[in-house]
Structure 1
Amino acid sequence: MSTTSTPAAVTQAANERIPEPCVVVIFGASGDLTKRKLLPALYHLEQSGLLPKDFTVVGVARRDLSATFAPDMKDGILKGGGVEAEDPKLAPFMDRVKYFATNFDDDAGFEALKAYLADLDGQFGTKGNRLFYLAVAPEFFADIIARLGKHGMAKPEKGASNWVRVIIEKPFGTDLASARKLNDDVNAVLSEKQIFRIDHYLGKETVQNILVFRFGNGIFEPVWNRNFIDHVEITAAESIGIEGRGPFYEQAGALRDVLQNHVMEVLSFVAMEPPDSFEAAAVRTEKLKVWRAIEPIPVEDTVRGQYGPGKVDGKDVIGYRQEDRVDPESQRETFAAAKLQIENWRWAGVPFYIRAAKRLEKRVTEVTIVFKQPPLHLFKSGGKGSIEPNVISMRIQPDEGISLQFGTKVPGPTTNVAQVNMNFSYAEAFGKSSANGYERLLLDAMLGDATLFAHRDGVEATWALFTPILEAWAATKPDFPNYDAGSWGPQESCDLLAKSGRSWGKL
């Protein structure tokens, strides 16, 4: 599929997106996220000319890594894709990558960090603007923010024009009560305008493209409702296991890790009404309306599962209970699915089926829009029966793109109908990208644009839906494991759709 572009317009738009001078301070910088995602994303912005000239990065962690931090980050940038070792922008960028060691509960360390950042302002001309990124375990969120407030780093100086913003990684709470407490703790120090709750799924081009696909094309929005759509499926499947994260996954599980945040964010883009504008407040308002319109979820409309031993890509793999640092009798789910009903004018009567899991047949995240059949079946599929419904599939990862499935006549003297796909591929249309999804989110945070970030109201709305399910699941003992690694999950997942004569689409 071909595409057209206007380089002058793109350049002008890019110039308008360059932030003010600033320091990006990453707490927990010794972790994998900083090396694999954050520094490569920042350098991709530098390559694109989207970072300010007066800019620096400071990694903060407890260990003294001052001698190895910058070389380690350089290695991550080179392995992050799209960067050559001789890239002329790389050495000047690495000169602006700094490190500061302190414990997160050390008041003296925070005072020293404050002085260090002030020195960097003088050295790099960053004007006191701060973007703090909390790439740490959730138990450190409130303490770090409290100390930023205590030591005068959470607010701009009185009367100054500079800004302070804080990015908080998920998980944001583990249920409704903990999310509310964390919100209260954070809001005691920071205004809501300063808080950027990040969900990296919203940095993916294909997630953002859901809104463009719907609201930027006149042929789709008129049929995007209960009159034409039969049901919607959203799948977030991984073929990998927990990859050594036993203690984390024992506390989280598939519902907390993916369904409550990533999948619900995608669902809101699929289901929301057109906002007044693509500004943060307008988009967040429409997303919140969707979540609040979802009916309480009966536990019988949910499915949980846990993988046992099986085969993935032809290789034998162990079950969840055999994974490192996992309870051999664990009741933690690695598969979670639910049927949701959005009770509003657009979606009344249209079920939304959502699922997220580890160790399924393949890695794929996809939104499937299944349309209703015509009222009269005039044609047969290959002479065998009714043709399949039209389907729009939006592939978020991998092989990002969109396909439209429809029926067409098979050449020949008889009227037989076959299903065909009209495909759009991001890679074919625009070239393969090395971006990892954090580029857009980091840039937006530096610009103060919260459109693609979660608000406390939205976080609490989704937890209000799923906390009763978690409580109901905790009250009963499941029969685990109940699906083989390398399959598409437990039979109960298929039964969830079969109750109404539906089935999961082929991915």
Structure 2
Amino acid sequence: MSEQSTVKGFNTSASEKVAMDLASAKALEAKISVRQKDLIFVLFGAGGNLASLKLFLALFQSFKEEKLPANFTILAVDLNPEMTSGSFRGWVRQDLLDKGPESEEMAAFLEHIVYFPFNVLTGNYQSLKDKISGLETERKVSPNRKIIYFLSLLPNLFEPTIQGLGQAGLLADENARLAVEKPFGSSLESAQKLNAIILQYCQESQIYRMDHWLGKETVQNLLNFRFANGIFEHLWSRQFIDYIEITAAETVLVPDGRGYVGALKDMVVNHLFQLICLLLMEPPNSLSADDIRDEKVKLLRVLKADPKFTIRGYYEGYDRTEETYIALKLMVDNYRWQGIPIYVRPWKGAKNKETEISAHFKGVPSTLFTAIPNTLVLRLQPDEAISLTWNVKVPGEPNNRQKSLDFLYNSKGGFEETIPEAYQTLIESMIEGDRTLFVRADEVEAQWAVVMPILNHWETLTINNGHLSESDIVHTYPVGSDGPTAANQILEPNHKWRSL
């Protein structure tokens, strides 16, 4: 009997393994099939900082790893009428050389780049269509090729560019994909308007709204951390967690203010709300793009922000009106998280660059020991790691001491794999047609809906008895600090910001 059970158990396990291997093989085969299709990657704003610092480097890395189709063309679109394909390739080559040595691979990659001077505001989009058609003939591009229109542009250029592409019929192609960089709108109303314009010309399945933080491995790991580790998932609720803190400190200053929209719109609405969704949402039915995004939208709809629990500021010497610091206390109005504050604070001009999530657990209801409550820290950048504090006995003494158990999310932590750059991951996902790491229309609008009470309040500040309330004052803070001390006023009793 026991032998039969053992054999039966072994057979079941083996069959499950075979099924898993077959599923993995089919998934890999599907990815290879997608990558075998020819590709035209139309990059608007190809001469801008994002393209220079991130996009061409990401495309080159994918090329070196043979993750791009064999027949692909990058159509670099920018304003400069004096630029040629040859001179533009030289410009890209210099950017790549800043990151690594010259190679035959680099020379081969550069041959895939074609430059096209074009003004997205005044240009004739039929000429762009003709250029693409000419490239398809010249480079023997397959009729079922994929074409990605990547808008690496200032937000005020999104609408005219999308309308130009749409009216020229370039988005009607079922193989066309549209990638739009953040920020997606500047308010709920503007986001709804931009969504409406895009959906005039595209299906939702064609749209890839970018938030590059979703391409970061440590952000994607939040799902694995929560739903693949029972030790934490069972503790992940108001019953055991006292409060959660999210810090995003940047040492950089605002270079010239061009395009900067303030810490709330730039960091909170986009990046940090995505972290909150992955951190607090309910388990999705599957790992499909829509199942995951359904749960994120549900969470956003019960996420509440109150202007009374908002502190904003700017660093000393800053001469613009947009805040460079903001601290918020958010609440989640659902069963799992009712009553648990979520503190968020992004700012520029910090002493150290660091993005981390800290879950502060409730203290032990015991008088046996003097113990500091445990804290779980998920460090997203730099030096990606997971750290958990423990209270342990000091050798030779009866007292406790808090120590941390650290796991490094890199080669020192046991991973031989190289962590890919976020944009490389996102571009490869676009090519494969996987929208999991991109933001859906209702998700964008739900993000803006959370902060509209704050934005509306800022527009209609009222003075009570001749004085602004503390939450309405725009505070200053020294460069190299943790921001204005007034941020402590939104904390509940016995809560405090972690020191960086």
- Alpha-carbon contact 2:369-2:400 (below 8 Å) kept: yes
Name the structure 1 match of 2:437: 452
Determine the C-alpha separation between the residues in 2 that align with 1:229 and 1:165. Answer: 42
Counterparts of residues 88-487 of structure 1 (less than 5 Å): 88-106=104-122, 108=124, 110-122=125-137, 123-127=139-143, 128-156=145-173, 163-244=175-256, 246-249=257-260, 252-295=261-304, 297-308=305-316, 319-321=317-319, 326=320, 330=321, 332-380=322-370, 387-412=371-396, 414-427=397-410, 428=412, 429-430=414-415, 433=418, 435-476=420-461, 479-487=473-481
Q: After superposition, what is the alpha-carbon deviation per residue over 1:36-77, rounded to whole angstroms, capped at 9, x for unaligned? A: 101111111112221111211111011122242111112222
**Alignment of 1:70 onto 2:82:** no
Range with bigger deviation, 21-30 or 8-17: 8-17
Aligned partner of 2:8 in structure 1 is none
Work out which of the residue numbers 483, 486, 489 in structure 2 matches 1:489: 483
TM-score w.r.t. the length of structure 2 is: 0.88
Amino acid at match of 2:499: K
- Alignment of 1:506 onto 2:495: no
Per the alignment, do residues 273 and 145 of structure 1 end up closer, same or farther by CA in structure 2, a change over 3 Å counting? same
Question: Which residue matches 2:13?
Answer: none
Match of residue 315 from structure 1: none
The TM-score with structure 1 as length reference comes to 0.87
**More deviation in 467-476 or 57-66?**
467-476
Task: Tell me which moved more, 486-495 or 9-18.
Answer: 9-18
Alpha-carbon contact 2:306-2:453 (below 8 Å) kept:
no
Paired letter, 1:173: G
Q: Which amino acid is 2:262 matched to?
A: G
Measured in 2, the distance between the counterparts of 1:174 and 1:300 equals 21
The one-letter amino acid of 2:253's match is: G
Output the aligned Cα RMSD: 2.2
Q: Which moved more, 1:64-73 or 1:355-364?
A: 64-73
- After superposition, the C-alpha distances for 1:232-291 in whole angstroms (9 at most, x for unaligned) are 1111111111022x2323xx1110111111100111000011111111100000000110
Query: Counterparts of 1:480 and 1:36 in 2: how far apart (Å)?
Result: 33
Letter in 1 for 2:366: L
C-alpha distance in structure 2 between counterparts of 1:481 and 1:501, whole Å: 24
Is the CA contact (8 Å cut-off) linking 2:218 and 2:380 kept in structure 1? yes
Matched, 1:17 2:31: yes
TM-superposed deviation, 1:292? 0.3
In structure 2, how many angstroms separate the alpha carbons of the residues matched to 1:10 and 1:183? 35
1:24-43 deviations in Å (ceiling 9; x for gaps):
10011110111110111111
SS in 1 for 2:31: coil
In structure 1, how many angstroms separate the alpha carbons of the residues matched to 2:169 and 2:377? 49
Check whether the contact 1:22–1:54 (CA below 8 A) recurs between aligned residues: yes
> Which shifted more, 358-367 or 200-209?
358-367
Contact 2:121 2:157 in 1 (8 A): no
**Which amino acid is 1:420 matched to?**
K
Task: State the secondary structure of the residue aligned to 2:41.
Answer: strand
SS class of match (2:259): helix
1:222 and 1:290, CA in 2 relative to 1: closer, same or farther beyond 3 A?
Answer: same
* Structure 1 SS opposite 2:201: coil
**Amino acid of the structure 1 residue aligned with 2:92:** M
In structure 1, how many angstroms separate the alpha carbons of the residues matched to 2:201 and 2:439? Answer: 18
- Does the aligned pair in 2 maintain the 1:405–1:422 contact within 8 Å? yes
Say whether the 8 Å CA contact 2:191–2:445 is kept in structure 1: yes
**2:86 is the alignment partner of 1:56:** no
Query: Who is 2:3 aligned against?
Result: none
CA offset at residue 14 of structure 1? 5.9
Change (3 A) 1:14 1:437: farther
Distance 1:257 1:439, change over 3 A: same
User: In structure 2, how many angstroms separate the alpha carbons of the residues matched to 1:193 and 1:131?
Assistant: 13
Q: Which amino acid aligns with 1:267?
A: I
The answer (yes or no) to whether the contact 2:41–2:150 under 8 Å persists in 1 is yes
Q: Residue 452 of structure 2: SS of its match in structure 1? A: helix
Residues 38-53 of structure 1 mapped to structure 2, 5 A cutoff: 38-53=55-70
Which secondary structure state, in structure 2, belongs to the residue aligned with residue 403 of structure 1?
Answer: strand
Q: Do the aligned residues in 1 keep the contact of 2:312 with 2:473 (CA within 8 Å)? A: no
Alignment-derived partner of residue 18 in structure 2: none
Give the drift of 1:126. Answer: 4.8
Contact 1:14 1:50 in 2 (8 A): no
Q: What residue ranges of structure 1 are gaps of 5+ in the alignment?
A: 1-7, 157-161, 309-318, 381-386
Cα distance change on mapping 1:486 and 1:431 into 2, 3 Å: farther
Report the Cα offset of residue 105 of structure 1. Answer: 3.0
Task: Write the distance in 1 (CA, Å) between the matches of 2:309 and 2:43.
Answer: 41
For 1:488 and 1:11, locate their aligned partners in 2 and report how far apart those are by CA, in whole Å: 49
Secondary structure at the counterpart of residue 223 of structure 1: coil
State the Cα distance separating 1:362 from its structure 2 match.
1.3
| One-letter amino acid of the counterpart of residue 494, structure 1 | N
- Go from structure 1 to structure 2 and tell me whether the alpha carbon gap of 1:176 and 1:223 turns closer, same or farther (over 3 Å shift): same
Deviation at 1:10, TM superposition (A): 9.4
> Contact 2:306–2:330 (CA<8 Å) still a contact in 1?
no
Cα contact 1:26–1:59 (8 A) shared by 2: yes
Report if the CA contact (8 A) 1:23-1:126 is conserved.
no
1:351, distance to aligned residue in structure 2 (A):
1.0
Matches of 1:153 and 1:107, distance apart in 2: 15
